Structure 1
Amino acid sequence: MIALVTDSTACLTQAEARNWNVFLVPHTYRLDGNLYTETFEGENGAYVSVLRNSREKISLQASEEQFYHLFRSLKRNGMEVLCTVLSSRLSGAYSAAITAAKRVGEGIAVVDSQLTAGGLYLLISRIREEIDKKQMSLSEAAALCERLRGRIGVAFSVEHMDALRKSRRIGVVRQSVGSILNRRPVLLLRRGGIISCGLARGWQEKSELLAAQIPHDTERLVVQYYEKKKEAVQFASSLKKKLCVPLILLREIGPVLSIHIGEDALAVSWEEKE
């Protein structure tokens, strides 16, 4: 049996993880000196208000030891492991998992998802489905993961670039991109790095620019939000009408990603048809 391992930015519910045989390695974060552990979707408590009212905001990536102990435990229980975590260009979690896998030995495959958030969720759920349907070997599952990630995209808007610049995760985004005259940056995750796709003024323009990034042959969508659920529901409804997508999930942007992209972000992830 192949167990899947991912990190807590994947916005999985505990029920989904249990049903799909997925094991979560959590990131932690510190707000004004208090340490918190990010966990499953819907189980992070009142992090929105705590995060908004905190001055010190620091995220701490999942460690090599966390991956090592989980990999070793799963292997001792007779399972092979396919691990895919958020993009190596956004976090050191991938490197930590690679090092841990080498310590454990055979039976562990680690693949750079080049994704995060809803994109990572879509990747994990599709991998589980294909592994079970086709009874894949570990090497076949790892190769599938590398192919699937190219069919998945992530776009998001932020209120300003301050949090991203502070996190040093903006990749090739021009330093001049920012909030000017009420224009908000809209960004893409491409090959694991963040790039700019334009500026939008107001909610309508922002939602249209986000929607414009989504291919017409999309079959699944995840819309994510920070606190402003009503806006996210409205956006999801407009996408359903425009694209006739059979499945749209609504999820929160968790505390760790919120620290890095700032508050009031809106994101959409999609999976193209094969």
Structure 2
Amino acid sequence: MSAPRPPQFAVVTDGGMDAFADLNNAVPVAPFGLTFGSVSYRMHDLTREQLYQELQTNPAHPTSSQPTLQDWSEALREVGTAGAAQVLALTISQGLSGSINAAQQVLGLYPALDVTLHDSRTLSAAQAFQVHAAATAAARGESLETALAWVRAVAEETELYFTIETLDYLRRGGRIGRVQATLGGLLNLKPVITVEDGIYTTVARGRSYRGGLEALATQVTRRYGEGTPLRLGLLYGSVPADADELLAMIEQRHPVVWAGKAGVNPVLNVHTGPRACGVAAAPGAWPWER
């Protein structure tokens, strides 16, 4: 058996990703920021439990901010110090954040690094799937070109859907996208939201929060066809059991070949509101395992 090839490139990402312990998501992250009034945090400095406490007690509505130039600089410095010459940087959708623009601005500070920027055109668990593809290629000694092919294949077949208890947080944060228009005045309905053309849009709706979960599970089946084996990256907000309930609904219609669960990170949770549930779904095995 031949020895594994050393990595030819390194992978970095930003705070748009919700990492999964079972995926290759342990890469340097340029974090987002979160501000309550005059107090600011880096996303990893605030736990989800602390966030929910702040949302209940702090009169100031939180605002989020894209990674700063320093945040991206530190992420690139970390991989440069580790000896990488090529870097693949995957970012949250440009339609939802200016993170990729901040990354572009710092590239001149690292002339020794050959950095390729890739807009994931999504976020959260779907971004984690793309990072997993890139990091897996790196760990196997594959080329950057192969990694990008794997990332694009994963992006093409992966859908991200989520539902939320209230639209207030998306509206206040200015991330309402096409959701407001598609729901019209029926704001008591619970939307099933996806990312289309880089921004949020509604694809289904339920008449209650549980109805939203059921509509979400139905949307997964509508996309992939009943009986199709699936990989699932499940997401939860303030109620972890929501992810278990959603998984059970999907398992009634699909064999699940892999499922992981992750809490929505505090910065993304600010936009969804505390109670939210979602899933990144994709069919069968990973593209490189077929």
Task: Report the TM-score when normalising by structure 2.
Answer: 0.82
Aligned to 1:54: 58
SS for the counterpart of 2:256 is coil
Aligned to 2:3: none
Distance 1:213 1:31 in 2: 35
Structure 2: 5+ residue runs without aligned partners?
1-6
Greater CA deviation, 108-117 or 140-149?
140-149
- State the Cα RMSD in Å: 2.7
The alpha carbon displacement at 1:192 in A equals 1.9
2:35 counterpart letter in structure 1: R
Q: Is the 8 A contact 1:159 1:179 kept in 2?
A: no
2:146 counterpart letter in structure 1: E
SS for the counterpart of 1:91 is coil
Q: Is the 8 A contact 2:179 2:202 kept in 1?
A: yes
Q: Residues 179, 127 of structure 1: CA spacing in aligned structure 2 closer, same or farther, 3 A cutoff?
A: farther
Q: Is the 8 A contact 1:157 1:185 kept in 2?
A: yes
Q: Residues 218, 229 of structure 1: CA spacing in aligned structure 2 closer, same or farther, 3 A cutoff?
A: same
Which of 262, 265, 271 is 2:276 aligned to?
A: 265
Q: Is the 8 A contact 2:63 2:173 kept in 1?
A: no
Q: Residues 255, 66 of structure 1: CA spacing in aligned structure 2 closer, same or farther, 3 A cutoff?
A: same
SS for the counterpart of 1:46 is helix
Q: Does 1:3 align with 2:14?
A: no
Aligned to 1:66: 71
Q: Residues 181, 117 of structure 1: CA spacing in aligned structure 2 closer, same or farther, 3 A cutoff?
A: closer
Structure 1: 5+ residue runs without aligned partners?
none
Aligned to 1:249: 260
Greater CA deviation, 138-147 or 22-31?
138-147
Q: Does 1:113 align with 2:124?
A: no
Distance 1:7 1:204 in 2: 31
SS for the counterpart of 1:175 is helix
Query: Which whole-Å deviations, capped at 9, do the CAs of 1:19-69 have from their partners, x for residues lacking one?
Result: 7651111112112432222129x9655322223332321112111222123
Distance 1:174 1:44 in 2: 27
Aligned to 2:88: 82
Greater CA deviation, 85-94 or 189-198?
189-198
Q: Residues 77, 191 of structure 1: CA spacing in aligned structure 2 closer, same or farther, 3 A cutoff?
A: same
Q: Is the 8 A contact 1:7 1:86 kept in 2?
A: yes
Which of 157, 160, 164 is 1:158 aligned to?
A: 164
Distance 1:125 1:202 in 2: 34
Distance 2:261 2:133 in 1: 17
Q: Does 1:193 align with 2:213?
A: no
SS for the counterpart of 1:247 is strand
The alpha carbon displacement at 1:181 in A equals 7.5
Which stretches of structure 1, 4 residues or longer, exceed 4 Å deviation after superposition? 42-45
Identity %: 22
2:242 counterpart letter in structure 1: E
Distance 1:178 1:248 in 2: 34
Distance 1:120 1:54 in 2: 30
SS for the counterpart of 1:9 is coil
Distance 1:270 1:176 in 2: 23
Q: Is the 8 A contact 2:165 2:209 kept in 1?
A: no
The alpha carbon displacement at 1:182 in A equals 4.0
2:263 counterpart letter in structure 1: E
Q: Is the 8 A contact 2:230 2:283 kept in 1?
A: yes
Aligned to 1:207: 213
Give matches, 1:125-144, under 5 Å: 125-133=132-140, 135-144=141-150
- How many residue pairs get aligned? The number is 270
The alpha carbon displacement at 1:204 in A equals 3.9
